[in-house]
Amino acid sequence: MADLRAPAPEPATELGRYRVLSSTAGIRVSPLQLGAMSIGDAWTQAMGSMSKEESFKLLDAFHGAGGNFIDTANHYQNEQSETWIGEWMAKRKNRDQLVIATKFSTDFGSYKLGKGKAPNHCGNHKRSLHMSIRDSLKKLQTDWIDLLYVHWWDLTTSIEGHGQSPSPCGTGHGAIFGYFGYAGMGCGSGKFICPSPWKDTLQYLPGQMECPAP
C-alpha cells in the first residue's frame, strides 16, 4: 500500500504546481488559466478560431502539462466553446480533475433567435442568470460550475438584485438546476462590489483584469 504521507511527485511543468484560488476560495488551481474564447469556429471572421480537433489537442496539451483551470463564457463562439469543452471532458472523463469558470451577462440568444427576440438572454438579472446557468450546465455536460463570473455590469440590475440571485453555495433559485461554487467579477469596478451581499465571495481573483467604471 502506498504511503499516504509521502509527498506528491514534482510536477512535469510549473502548470502542475497548484495554488489556492483566493483568500475566500480554497479550491486549488494551476497558476495559469486557459482562456477558451478561441475554442470554436463560429467567430472566424471576427477573431481567431480553431476546429474541434485542434481545440481538443489544445485542451489535451494544457491538461497533460498539469493545467486544470479553464475559463469560458456562455456566448463564446456562439456557445461552441462551452459545448466543445463539455464534449472533451465527457470523452476524457476528467471533469473532476478540472476547475471550470464560465460567465453570464452577454447576449447568448440573438445569434440563433434573431435580434430583438432574446431580450432576457443578457444582463445580470435573475432570468438571464437562470437561463445561462441552465444552458451552461447542459453544454458543459456537468452538474456544477466551479466559478461563475458576472461578465460585466449591465447598469440596470441593482446590487441588491445580484444578492437575491442564487448564492455561491448553490441554494435558492440556483438549486433548481445545479449550482456554482464561487462567484467572481470579470470586468468591473470594485466600488460596485463592496456593498454587495456577495461581498465575501464576489471579488477580483488573481489574474483578472480590472476595467474602469462606466
Q: Is residue 211 part of a domain?
A: no
Q: Give the structural domain span for 40.
A: 14-159+177-200
Q: Is residue 5 part of a domain?
A: no
Query: Tell me, what CATH number does 185's domain have?
Result: 3.20.20.100
| Domains contained in the chain, number | 1
Q: Is residue 70 part of a domain?
A: yes
Do residues 160 and 183 make contact, with C-beta atoms less than 8 angstroms apart? no
d(CA 184, CA 199): 10
Q: Is residue 34 part of a domain?
A: yes
pLDDT digits (tens, 9 = 90+) for 88-104: 999 999 999 999 999 99
Provide mean pLDDT across the span 60-64: 98
**What is the pTM assigned to this prediction?**
0.79
Write out the H or E segment, with its range, that includes residue 110: helix 110-113
Q: Is residue 107 part of a domain?
A: yes
* Candidates 18, 76, 149, 179; catalytic one: 76
Range with lowest mean pLDDT among 1-15, 71-85, 184-198: 184-198
DSSP SS3 for 146: strand
Buried b (16+ CB within 10 A) or exposed e, 102-130: bbbbbbbbbeeeeeeebeebbbbbbebbb
182 classed as catalytic: no
Residues in CB range of 159: below 8 A, 6 or more apart? 192, 195, 196, 197
Question: Is residue 160 over pLDDT 80?
Answer: no
- In angstroms, how far is the first alpha carbon of the chain from the final one? 59
Q: Is residue 207 part of a domain?
A: no
Q: Is residue 190 part of a domain?
A: yes
pLDDT digits (tens, 9 = 90+) for 64-85: 999 999 999 999 999 999 999 9
Provide mean pLDDT across the span 158-171: 54
pLDDT band at 174 (very low <50, low <70, confident <90, very high): very low
Q: Is residue 104 part of a domain?
A: yes
Question: Is residue 180 over pLDDT 70?
Answer: no
